[in-house]
Amino acid sequence: MQKSIFLAKLIGPFLAVCGVAMIFNTDAFRVIGEEIIKSPAFIYFAGLFALVAGLAIVNTHNEWVVDWRVTITLLGWLCLIAGVVRLVFPRFVETLGTSALASISNSWIAGEGVVILALGTWLSFKGYGQQSAGSKRRGGK
């Protein structure tokens, strides 16, 4: 459970900040996405980072349980798969990204930001809320 709480404290705020950034900077995220898709080097480095993050999570937290902790495991596997796809199939990523950016609106980007913010907030609550609840129980209060 300690690994789950640690990872929730790490991933939760990260996702929450990314979600807020997406909500308030939809135009910038569209431009960033277009620049990344045009650059094989960006796709490659994004793949490396996603692969390393995914492997780190999966190797330390591959817990298939029926509670909130499985979310962390799923995020780890999604990162791992996304990293492999970017490294092995960069042209596919470029084609998929180009068609996705051409068909989505800024409100769609903001909507994704809301979902990411909600997930980050929920994970933050699980991480930080679990610790303070455990501290209160140990302290006898």
Residue 6: which of 57, 59, 67, 47 has the closest Cα? 57
Instruction: Note the pLDDT of residue 130.
Output: 63
How is residue 68 annotated by DSSP?
A: T
- What is the C-alpha separation between 80 and 53, in angstroms, rounded? 7
Residue with tokens 């609840």: 133
How many residues make up the chain in this entry?
A: 141
- Per-residue confidence (pLDDT) for residue 137, from 0 to 100: 52
Q: Per residue of the chain (141 residues), what is the pLDDT tens digit? A: 899 999 999 999 999 999 999 999 999 999 999 999 999 999 999 999 999 999 999 999 999 999 999 999 999 999 999 999 999 999 999 999 999 999 999 999 999 999 999 999 999 999 999 655 555 555 544
User: Full-prediction pTM beyond 0.95?
Assistant: no
User: How large is the C-alpha radius of gyration of the chain?
Assistant: 17
Position 131 scores a pLDDT of 55
Cβ contact 32:25 at 8 Å? no
